[in-house]
A and B are shown apart, each in its own frame.
Chain A
Amino acid sequence: MRGGWFKVYALVYLVFLYAPIILLPMFAFNDATVIAFPLSGFSTKWFAALVDDPLLRDAVRNSLIIAVTTAILSTTLAVFAARASTRYRFPGKAGLMGLIMLPLVLPEIIVAVSLLSILLMAGIELSILTVILGHVLICTPFCIAILSSAFQSLDRSLEEAAYDLGETPFSTFRLIILPLVMPGIISSLLISFTISLDEFIIAFFLAGTQATLPVYILSQFRFPQAVPAIMALGTILVCLSILLLGIAEFFRRRGLARSGAKDTGGFL
């Protein structure tokens, strides 16, 4: 069989990738407080424990506010940049795009400490708002990557036709371009929401006293008795991410199918 050994290797690799995620529900539904084998018995008490934790409720609320705002802002900023870079030639384009895409390769801690310094020097109090500022910065490059491929696959003659039929640039954008890139916009919203929801380092530095979900999770790891509930929380989060990504993937493929482009793979 051609590629036989490669296939075995790839499957083993997938097991390596999924090992932590397979363990997660095992411990979430396990009866014992200690996170170890052998499992002792089935229980849903850790899920119940999540419901009446006021700290968790605050963290979830903060994270949702941050993630929704970040998704909208970074997708909006990315629409401008992706449209400009795929459609127009202008001086300084490579430099500006390089700067905008820089957070993709910059260690997050560098982004976090430099933002922290400037915010404190400007006298801005740390809050949910400052986390949003940081998250928009790191999510925008991912959104641009998704949206650029959506804008690139647009057929320019459609736009020309709209102009020839008397539409203004704005109405052309609203009536022709926006509907065509809509699947890209939806998957960009979902991806940036997911990144923001899971981002830890920037939130840790910039949240001040308002903990986000990952900051809460890390603080709970210090208490061994709190860990099983975190496993339950993790199980819920994994299911949520898979659901969101499934939807994002669906829209991405539909977008590709709509513009007739070839599928080039994942989001990254």
Chain B
Amino acid sequence: MTSGGVLRRTGRSEAATGLAMISPTATYAILLLAAPLALIFIVSFLTDGYLEIIRTFTFANYIEAWTNELYRVVMVRSLLVALSVTAVTVLLAFPVAYFVSFHVDPSRKSLWLFLITIPFWTSYLIRVFLWKVILGYNGVVNSSLLGLGIISEPLQWINYNVGAVVVTLAHAYAPFAILPIFVALEKIDRSLLEAGQDLGESRVMTFLRVTLPLAMPGVVAAVLIVFIPIIGDFVTPQLVGGPEGRMVANLIQLQYLKLDNYPLGSAIAVSAMAIVTLVSLLFLYLNRRYLRGPGS
């Protein structure tokens, strides 16, 4: 039975009712999301004048964004940081999701998920700052290693560099990686795994040929949901990254708020989004190849 009874009474078609109902939210998103995004796309092709934007079409901003050594270095670094954070986060998260899905008693799964999500909801800035405290020159790691006599002088390679950014971001995005993988693992029919083992596959082979392919939708969601926002993070690089840890979001912030060059800022933002989209599509394509299996 569908909504026939309702529709007869309201005298409107289902499509019209649905559209009318979604219209406030859709209008909001069109005005404050689609229109602004279109605007920065247009602005990225305009010329920067002093204190104003001159309405002449140009590719100069893109040429500047892609050929200037400074911007290129930062963009490549952002991409590498985002890729390594994503790899570290997802690889560290997978066993946790696997454990909660396969080894935790069903009645306690909610508790585990709750415990995993709580740190995510606590002040992001303060968490980032505390990683600086943990990894810093006089930080928790260094002072305890010194105190235990394991090292004789503070480790320098753990603070104010790209590594510190990776650790901090892997921490910040942990629940985003765990939850989608967990949901995908939960959907796997457990009898498939028994079938795999009954047919003589080892536990490892069952995992590789049954569990992992079936969990892939969750892994893909985790990868995208971690990878894409990281490009836009500028607090973590600023607080724990030091001068060598600056990322593309810092550049965008600089152009917009300090140098007041909106066209160039927009061109960098649009370029960053284009790169992120391309990498994401490439990843989706490779994943489809993997799921189709070898030799087909």
Contacts and interface: CB of A to CB of B under 8 A. Distances in A.
Interface stretch (A42-50, A105-113, A178-186): A105-113
Interface stretch (B34-42, B63-71, B206-214): B34-42
A77 B28 contact: yes
A105 B124 contact: no
B18 interface: yes
B25 A87 contact: no
A41 interface: no
Contacts of A111: 33, 36
B156 interface: no
B281 interface: no
Contact of A214 (B123, B143, B174): B123
A83 to B, nearest CB: 6
B123 A90 contact: no
Contact of B37 (A109, A114, A217, A227): A114
B256 A113 contact: yes
A37 B140 contact: yes
Interface in B244-276: 249, 252-253, 256-257, 262, 265-266, 269, 272-273, 276
A264 B232 contact: no
Interface stretch (B176-184, B189-197, B284-292): B176-184
Contacts of B257: 205
Contacts of A230: 126, 129
- Residue of A237, A265, A267 ringed by the most chain B CB atoms within 10 A: A265
Contact of B232 (A23, A110, A241): A110
Interface residues of A, number: 95
A185 B236 CA distance: 33
B74 interface: no
A23 B30 contact: no
A238 B123 contact: yes
Interface in B158-185: 171, 174-176, 179, 182-183
Given A14-B115, A99-B34, A121-B39, A81 B25 contact: yes
A82 B34 CA distance: 20
A111 B276 CA distance: 15
A83 B122 CA distance: 30
A114 B253 contact: no
A200 B249 CA distance: 14
A10 interface: yes
Given A160-B1, A160-B5, A84 B110 contact: no
B121 A136 contact: no
Interface string B1-17: 10101100110001111
B99 A200 contact: no
Q: How many B residues are at the interface, by size bracket?
A: 35 or more
B119 interface: yes
A91 B15 contact: yes
A218 interface: yes
Contact of B28 (A19, A37, A136, A157): A136
A200 B179 contact: no
Nearest to A213: B123
A215 to B, nearest CB: 9
A93 B179 contact: no
Contacts of A245: 114, 117-118, 121
A265 B112 CA distance: 9
B113 interface: yes
A31 interface: no
B142 to A, nearest CB: 9
B100 interface: yes
10 contacts: A10-B100, A17-B171, A36-B133, A37-B144, A80-B22, A81-B26, A106-B229, A163-B6, A201-B235, A268-B175
Interface of A: 2-3, 6-7, 9-10, 13-14, 16-21, 23-24, 27, 35-38, 77-78, 80-81, 83-85, 87-93, 96-97, 99-100, 102-111, 113-118, 121, 133-134, 136-137, 140, 156-157, 159-160, 163-164, 169, 194, 198, 200-201, 205, 214, 217-218, 221, 227, 230-231, 233-234, 237-238, 241-242, 245, 249, 253, 263-268
Interface of B: 1, 3, 5-6, 9-10, 14-19, 21-26, 28-30, 32-37, 39-40, 43, 92, 95-96, 98-100, 102-103, 109-110, 112-119, 121-127, 129-131, 133-134, 138-140, 143-144, 171, 174-176, 179, 182-183, 186, 224-225, 228-235, 239, 249, 252-253, 256-257, 262, 265-266, 269, 272-273, 276
